[in-house]
């Protein structure tokens, strides 16, 4: 029984628009935050951590257009890949782009945890788990299907649920954004829960649980914070910054990413993106009473949210103030329109 999961949306959104890592400068900085070296991406850092091991068969969660497994195959990190995703159109793209590479694809709802084939020695979560509703069920299944010496590699958004940033983070991002020249500033809009539910309801549905639930079933081998509390907010979907002159971009990218690093140092719990390498803790799967309690907790959480119009938590203070303000502005606009017509 999967309950209500959020599948009815346009998956092509993931490959359009400008993200903070559309900038080379940001990619190099994220490399440094993971591997300690601007030139070493997570894949090569991962290779080093596992002592150059080549994985026989990797399961790629919510693989999208398949670029992650193509990269892993081409780098010789894995010998075979199985990609799963809900979106048919993206799976078609992945199949076409794979060509002769040993990659197979299946359409499924990850929340069912009914993964195909088997004999995996690696599971890859790249920007995938923050879309999972039944995170306990899925992570438990992954710990079951991996052998004791298998690995679970994660590169994911682990920030606030449905991007409901804390007031402290939001105010810090507003202040940094205000320092930018007007023509490069982000249009700062606090993510509106109802819009998120309509456009991509699985977005960050349980990003806030990814790390804690992973720790139930996995031993953490390597864990690095990539930050993003300020940099992601200011640079993502910021067309004005993207269209600025290269020398202006270079100047402000350094300032933004330095501020982002400083914020991360002062608030390590604020990291929005993490790299985590883990191995299954098989003992965790023997604690039957605990497993039953976690299943009940998950089912109750989802049933309660369904009754509550998809809401899981009370809104942040900033969201309450912001939404009230928006509704007053909307009311005034409607009155003015009525008055003028
Ligand atoms: C942010 S994209 C990441 C895609 C890919 N991992 C990448 O990095 O390019 C999230 C992916 O999750 C998929 N997805 C979301 N909910 C899903 C579900 N319940 N079952 C399977 N796939 C799902 C979407 O179709 C999309 O491809």
Residue whose Cα lies nearest atom 25 of ligand 1: it is 87
Phi, psi of 139 (to 5 degrees): -65, -35
Residue 55 carries which DSSP code? B
Quick one: how far is CA 213 from the chain centroid? 15
Dihedral, CA atoms, 157, 162, 167, 172, nearest 10 degrees? 40
**Pairing state of beta strands 273-280 and 218-227?**
antiparallel
- Listing DSSP states for 75-144 in one string gives TTSBS-EEEEES-HHHHHHHHHHHTTSSEEEEE--GGG----S---SEEEEES-GGG-SSHHHHHHHHHH
pLDDT of residue 84: 98
pLDDT of residue 325: 81
Q: Is the Cβ atom of 202 under 6 angstroms away from ligand 1?
A: yes
Q: Is the Cβ atom of 204 under 6 angstroms away from ligand 1?
A: no
pLDDT of residue 2: 39
Residue whose Cα lies nearest atom 20 of ligand 1: it is 109
Q: Is the Cβ atom of 133 under 6 angstroms away from ligand 1?
A: no
pLDDT of residue 3: 42
The span from the CA of 252 to the CA of 182, in Å, is 12
Q: 58: which strand partners?
A: 81, 122
Q: Which atom of ligand 1 is nearest to the CA of 61?
A: 6
Q: 224: which strand partners?
A: 275
Q: Is the Cβ atom of 169 under 6 angstroms away from ligand 1?
A: no
pTM of the model: 0.92
CATH code for the part of the protein at 11-315: 3.40.50.150
Residue 149 CB-density burial (10 A; 0-12 exposed, 13-18 middle, 19+ buried):
exposed
Q: Is the Cβ atom of 124 under 6 angstroms away from ligand 1?
A: no
pLDDT of residue 16: 83
- Chunk the chain into consecutive blocks of 10 residues (it has 341) and report each block's average pLDDT, rounded to whole numbers: 49 83 98 98 98 98 98 98 96 97 98 98 98 98 98 98 94 98 96 82 95 98 98 97 98 98 96 98 98 98 92 80 79 84 74
Phi, psi of 232 (to 5 degrees): -65, -45
Q: Which atom of ligand 1 is nearest to the CA of 6?
A: 19
Angle at 275 (CA atoms; ends 85, 130), nearest 5 degrees? 40
The span from the CA of 29 to the CA of 323, in Å, is 35
């Amino acid at each position: 029984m999967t309950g209500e999961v959020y599948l009815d949306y346009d998956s092509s959104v993931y490959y359009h628009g400008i993200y903070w890592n559309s900038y080379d400068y940001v990619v190099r900085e994220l490399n440094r935050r993971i591997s300690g070296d601007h030139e070493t991406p997570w894949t090569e850092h991962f290779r080093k951590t596992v002592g150059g091991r080549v994985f026989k068969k990797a399961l790629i969660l919510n693989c999208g257009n398949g670029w992650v497994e193509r990269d892993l195959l081409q780098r010789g990190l894995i010998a075979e890949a199985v990609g799963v995703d809900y979106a048919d159109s993206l799976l078609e793209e992945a199949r076409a782009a794979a060509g002769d590479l040993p990659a197979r694809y299946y359409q499924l709802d990850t929340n069912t945890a009914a993964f195909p084939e088997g004999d995996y020695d690696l599971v890859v979560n790249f920007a995938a788990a923050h879309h999972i509703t039944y995170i306990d069920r899925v992570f438990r299944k992954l710990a079951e299907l991996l052998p004791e010496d298998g690995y679970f590699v994660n590169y994911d958004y682990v920030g606030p649920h449905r991007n409901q940033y804390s007031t402290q983070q939001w105010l810090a991002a507003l202040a940094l954004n205000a320092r930018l020249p007007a023509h490069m500033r982000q249009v700062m809009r606090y993510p509106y829960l109802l819009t998120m539910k309509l456009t991509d309801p699985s977005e960050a549905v349980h990003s806030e649980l990814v790390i804690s639930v992973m720790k139930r079933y996995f031993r953490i081998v390597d864990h690095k914070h990539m930050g993003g509390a300020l940099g992601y907010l200011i640079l993502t979907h910021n067309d004005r910054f993207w269209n600025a002159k290269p020398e202006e971009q270079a100047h402000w990218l350094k300032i933004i990413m330095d501020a982002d690093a400083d914020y991360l140092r002062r608030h390590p719990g604020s990291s929005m993106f993490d790299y985590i390498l883990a191995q299954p803790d098989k003992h965790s799967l023997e604690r039957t009473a605990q497993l039953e309690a976690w299943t009940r907790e998950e089912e109750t959480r989802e049933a309660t949210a369904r009754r509550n119009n998809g809401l899981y938590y009370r809104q942040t203070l900033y969201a309450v103030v912001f939404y009230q303000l928006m509704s007053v502005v909307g009311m005034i606009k409607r009155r003015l329109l009525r008055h003028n017509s």
